[in-house]
Amino acid sequence: MESKKYIFHENIILLILAAAALMDTLDSFIVNVAMPTISKSLHISGDNNLQWLITAYGLAFAGFLILAGRLSDIYGKRKIFITGVTLFGVASLLAGLSSTFTLLIICRGFQGLGAAFISASALSSLISIFEEGKARNRAMIIWGTVNIGGATLGVVFGGLITQYINWHWIFFFNVPISALILCVTPFFVPKLSGRGIASLKKFDLLGTFLVTSGLITLIYGLTKAPSYGWSDHKVTELLVAATILLGAFIVNELKVPEPLLNLSLFRKGNVGAASILGLLVTGVGGTLLFFLSLYNQQVLGYSPVKAGLSLLPLLVLLVAVLQVVRKLLNRFGYKKVIIGQLILLAIGYLSLLRLPVGGQYINYELPSLIILGLGVPAGMGITLAATSGIKNKESGAVSGVYNTATQIGGPLMLAILSTIAATYTTKYAAANHTNLASAVHGIHAAFIAATAFILLATLLCVFILKQLPVKPEKSSLV
């Protein structure tokens, strides 16, 4: 879009979509810090039950992303976006009012459903509104800043709200934000009309059931693996069932005239390669806050608030680095930038192996956070690679595919790395090491595995990812 009269509106649109994305990201991480307090308040027994606060959200989020992307292409992105914000706001209000664990879990599931609708429609709106090139790079950098920053802020705010107010307000704060977004969206966000209700006659209901149930079964199995063990028959049965359901989904998509997911999308541009990279890099990056929060609280003895605040330098650096990344992307293209940042990310994870049992934060953890802050924004370049060369009419489906890959990456990598950490913790404890020393050895093992995944992503980027030329498409802002 070259007309200057739209610049102001574009900035408002970006602000609205980013605010909704911030709610999603914050909510994904803010509950982690509050879980012990919620457990005491609602008299929850057992870690396996408590983890449903995270699992219920993740199951609905990942399970419905592809469907949400498809619906945004049919009904229009703004309608699906408004639906998602409404669901998220109402579910947040009810979650804050919850007096029982069962009701809270149900509300968390509906929050995840709303988040899926928001995420798929918001990203596809960005693809449609901002022309490929500098305009989209800028939009994606801001989008990435919000998502990465929201993760760290979620940990910080979770501790502050829980410790100084009460846990109910970690959900209540979403309500006024949702209301404000709903008030301004009709006036500033364009309709970006979909294909129309007539296309529902050929809607792929079987594919919808297979992919949603398959993804939910997969995510559920992965989240149970750390507590049950990968060889447990319950985990094996869930993963086998997920494989069958997703395999049947692929067969179905190859046969139906109007598939829910056009598999040819994976051959378009970098959608397939970027989805794999997004799964690996976003998944590994999502575990960083988990393990550092664990280290700071269990090993260094930090309070939830102090543990969250210790990650603020990473957030501040990320915001600054993303501004530099935007210029680098415009000058060198996303492939070279991604490779450079993945190398920095691998170095950062390796530097975390220096974390000792009783070391000082400023001498050991802070230097690693600085290196990681330079590499974590690689996810931004990967998102640009995924959306390069994509037509507006395909943006909903592509955003659903890519978002689903990144959402699956989170629980997948957390399940793998948590299992590795638990295995090595137990091994060192059996060798008569102290509990703290054993915990540190387990965390180190997880960071080594994380480094291996990042190096794998680097190789895939070098040999598979393509640097596509920019071919601007006429903006859909009307």
Query: How confident is the prediction along the chain (478 residues), in pLDDT tens digits per residue?
Result: 334 444 447 778 888 888 888 887 777 777 877 777 787 788 776 545 666 787 788 778 877 877 887 788 778 888 899 999 999 999 999 999 998 888 999 999 999 999 989 988 887 788 777 777 777 777 777 776 676 667 667 777 777 887 788 889 989 989 999 999 999 998 888 776 555 554 555 667 788 889 888 888 887 887 777 677 778 888 899 999 999 999 999 999 888 877 777 787 788 778 889 999 999 998 898 788 778 877 887 788 887 778 778 877 887 787 778 778 878 888 888 899 999 999 999 999 999 999 998 778 888 999 999 999 888 878 778 988 887 777 666 666 777 678 778 877 877 787 788 878 888 888 888 776 677 888 899 999 999 999 999 999 999 999 999 887 655 444 444 3
Q: Tokens representing 413? A: 């990598």
Give every CB contact of residue 51 below 8 A, 6+ residues apart in sequence. Answer: 223, 227
Distance between CA atoms of 260 and 106, rounded to whole angstroms?
27
Q: Which CATH superfamily is domain 4-187+260-463 in?
A: MFS general substrate transporter like domains (1.20.1250.20)
What does the pLDDT read at residue 49?
Answer: 62
With CA atoms as reference, report the closest residue to 81 among 116, 128, 130, 129: 116
Q: Which residue has the tokens 């309608």?
A: 79
CA-CA-CA-CA dihedral for 240, 242, 246, 249, to nearest 10: 110
Q: Is 233 exposed, middle or buried (0-12, 13-18, 19+ CB in 10 A)?
A: exposed
Are 127 and 90 in contact by the 8 Å Cβ rule? The answer is no
Distance between CA atoms of 158 and 164, rounded to whole angstroms?
10
What does the pLDDT read at residue 452?
Answer: 96
Buried b (16+ CB within 10 A) or exposed e, 424-452: bbeebbeeebeeebbbbbbbbbbbbbbbe
List Cα–Cα distances, 436 to 56, 293, 427, in angstroms: 31, 14, 13
* pTM, full prediction: 0.75
In angstroms, what is the C-alpha Rg of the chain? 21
